[in-house]
Amino acid sequence: MDTLFLGKMIAPYLFVSGLGFLFSANFYERLLINSDKSDPLAVNLSGMVHFLIGLAIVLNHHLWGNILEILITLLGFGFIIKGLTTIVFPILTLKSTKISVKLLRISGIGFIVAGLFLGYMSYFA
């Protein structure tokens, strides 16, 4: 997997997720408030998907040469950590998601900015 391909794949995900956090913050807040009632299978599948995506990125893209390579590699490690903690410590992970609508909106802005930056670096730079 090359850096530009991964950047072009991850940037829209970050951007769209950020829009979701901004425009549907109340929905995501309810989802997080009730996360301790989540179906164990869904929680495990979420952890598995994060872990496998991160592992696929890191195994194929362990590069540290420029800012885009570093960001993609760090995102890969972030996905691994998210998946690992969700699988190994599901209750702790679910309890740590109790956040407010305001923080969701701030996270949304962060996701949008990260998606735009990654997208710019992947598509135009």
Give the Å distances, CA to CA, from 110 to 36, 61, 62, 97: 25, 24, 24, 17
The pLDDT value given to residue 29: 83
- pTM for the whole thing? 0.88
> From CA 29, how far away is CA 25, in angstroms rounded?
6
The pLDDT value given to residue 99: 66
8 Å CB contact between 8 and 123: yes
Query: CB-side exposure of 4: number of CA atoms within 13 Å?
Result: 4
8 Å CB contact between 112 and 15: yes
> From CA 21, how far away is CA 33, in angstroms rounded?
15
pLDDT tens per residue across span 95-111: 766 666 678 889 999 99
pLDDT in tens, the chain (125 residues): 699 999 999 999 999 999 999 999 888 888 877 777 888 899 999 999 999 999 999 999 999 999 999 999 999 999 999 999 999 999 887 776 666 667 888 999 999 999 999 999 999 98
> From CA 68, how far away is CA 62, in angstroms rounded?
12
